[in-house]
Structure 1
Amino acid sequence: MGNNNSSLKRKGIKMELDKNVDYNATDLENLGAETKLKCHMPSNDDAIDRVHMFHFFQRSLFQSDFSPPIEERLVRESCKVLDVGCGPGTWLLDLANKYENSSFYGIDNNLAYPNEIKPGNLNFVRADVFDRFPFPDNKFDYAHQGLMRYTAKPEQWSFLISEMIRVVKPGGYIELLATSRGEFKGTGPVLMKLHEAHFSYCLEKGIDTKTMPNLDKIIKLNPDTPIVNRDEKFFISGPNGGKIGMVYQDIHIGFHKSEATTEILSPILGISKEEYKTMITKDLIEELKHTSPEYSLIRFWAKKINNN
């Protein structure tokens, strides 16, 4: 596995030695060599562990790995599934072990995903998701995106969604995971400062987080996906949100106290790194005991129709 110390391996998820599905080794190597890498997701162990935690968090929140009605096809048929911006491949590893009759593909420009040890029905392609996908039209039964909430600019979302629709067969599905914080209900002053600093940084990079809750509008613009379904789940972060809330707090705190985030947000907040770390590890944790900040995750999904 690319990251031998990751929590996914420690959890003992069943894996098999690599077997190629549709691409041979030369094809995969050439795809990686020819691609300009633009979008990067942290690949250190802590960041990968947070991705693993988030996968199990959102699966518990929705009580499912996906929202489109495709499970029967995954079980009985040889479906082809694509995960766009797959990161370390947590979602794919979970599904590939459950649905052995189907084939799974992950596409990302980062090598955080397993390179050697993985289920035989799973392959990864190194390529930039903001370029044309290295797949023909109408190849997949289902295209999923769940790890790119803060990496795409508004115009990139339009391209990304159009590519997902292009590579899915008529009658197949696309699905995108988004976040919505609404009106920041129940948010205390410490958490609000963090949100404002983070949003300020995103806007500086051209990433408008207000796009996320409105991805359905972009999906509807494509004539092949006129009907978009919205599956939204609300939760409270912190002790007042129960077990789900504490898991999300751990993910949130872990992200904000990382060295990379500290380097970015402490200057925006106008405080030293030491003051910032105290703010995260003491002030924020204490605040969450007395507040109930409300968040939500949204799954947008649509069925591709045949307009021919």
Structure 2
Amino acid sequence: MSQENTPSSGSDNSGATKNAADFSYAEGRRYHGESESPYPLPNDMTEINRLDTQHYLLQNLTGKSYHAPIDNPKRVLDIGTGTGIWMREMSEKLPESEFLGLDIVPRPADVSFAQNCHFEAANILKGIPRPDNHFDFVFGRLLFTGIPEQSWAFYAKECARVCAPGGWVEMMELNARICDGGKFGDRFSDLMIAALAKRGVASETVDVIENYMQDAGLVDIRVEEFKMPLGNWGDRLGTLFWENAIMVAKGMIPMYVAALGIPADELRQELKEIDEGVQQHRAYVTVRVVCGRKS
């Protein structure tokens, strides 16, 4: 990426800044080392592949790349951009728009962006590093594991603050509760909810995102819900969603060990049993898409 495509805030061509997180390692996986963020998932190549697969699964489930009624936005913010796949694809659909992706760690070194895409490493729990009214579209998805319950109001207000009048904020999230998964689905959910709670994260905040948006001053709030099938009963999509969920759980093993005191080997065996057990049910989780406009 040439120098003229570098964000004005001072990040270099790799997307690294003085706020870029160091790395930590556990269970043969690489994790971010940002002590002020509870985000529990890895950031290695295995996770990169999982995130890209998850991106396409979500698009297949909802049938859309975005849900807010935007129209040729001048500036777009992608919060928790991860591999940057959503931003890269959107930049092709909206070539006249300028995109900024924020994430807690530097972007993968082998990922290239189009001329209208930029990346910056930042911890959004400390604030979004842009001035008021800067973006016409603010987008974020599946960030609930990294946002403590006490930070949701601040996060929503920051999204509203950097959104320009007439612009839109969109959040796509799901909570950690598996429905209709029998005792195995309950156990999967209970493990994740209990471990996240030890880190200050409450998954049920996802069910009231619209309240945070309203309190932040956003209007015309719209909510859509989609049932994400988990397991073979949901055909190919359900099979892949469940495989993705198991990968998430395995990536969180260090968190489970630290938070719940359960040995890693015991967790791996339990996840194997959960994997087999959930397949016997019509399990699903609910994905919620909430959009709000800044007046």
| TM-score strictly above 0.5 | yes
8 A contact 1:87–1:147 mirrored in 2: no
Report 1:54-93 matches (<5 A). 54-70=54-70, 72-73=71-72, 79-93=74-88
Matching residue of 1:202: 196
> Shift in Å at residue 144 of structure 1?
0.5
Take 2:237 and 2:16, find their aligned partners in 1: how far apart are those partners? 39
Question: In structure 2, what is the equivalent of residue 48 of structure 1?
Answer: 48
Contact 1:107 1:125 in 2 (8 A): yes
Percent identical residues: 19
2:10 pairs, out of 22, 27, 44, with 27
Number of residue-to-residue matches in the alignment: 278
Partner of 2:287: 297
Equivalent of 2:211, from 193, 213, 217? 217
Q: Deviations over 1:220-256 (max 9, x none)?
A: 1123x13310011113200011222111111011122
CA shift, 1:85, in A, is 1.9
Deviation at 1:44, TM superposition (A): 0.8
- The TM-score with structure 2 as length reference comes to 0.85
Residues 93 and 298 of structure 1: CA distance in aligned 2, closer, same or farther (over 3 Å): same
- How far, CA to CA, are the matches of 1:22 and 1:140 in structure 2? 17
Structure 1 residue 257 displacement after superposition: 2.8
Q: Does 1:154 align with 2:137?
A: no
Rate the CA distance shift 1:42–1:35 in 2: closer, same or farther, 3 A.
closer
Task: Find runs of 4+ consecutive structure 1 residues off by over 6 angstroms.
Answer: 267-270
Matches of 1:141 and 1:294 in 2, distance apart? 33
Contact kept, 8 Å, 2:179 with 2:185, in 1: the verdict is no
Following TM superposition, by how much is the alpha carbon of 1:59 offset from its aligned partner in structure 2, in angstroms? 0.8
Matches within 5 A, 1:131-170: 131-170=126-165
- 3-state SS of paired residue (2:165): strand
Instruction: Report which stretch shifted further, 59-68 or 48-57.
Output: 48-57
User: Does the 8 A contact of 1:35 with 1:127 survive in 2?
Assistant: yes
Q: Which amino acid aligns with 2:146?
A: T
Relative to structure 1, the CA distance from residue 68 to residue 59 in structure 2 (aligned partners, 3 Å threshold; closer, same or farther) is same
Q: State the match for 1:96 in structure 2.
A: 91
Show the counterpart of 1:280: 271
| Aligned equivalents of 2:198, 2:282: Cα separation in 1 | 29
Gaps spanning 5+ residues in structure 2: where? 22-33
* TM-score relative to the length of structure 1: 0.81
From the two aligned structures, give the one with the greater strand fraction: 2
Q: Contact (CA 8 Å) 1:21, 1:103: kept in 2 or not?
A: no
Is the radius of gyration larger for structure 1 or structure 2? 1
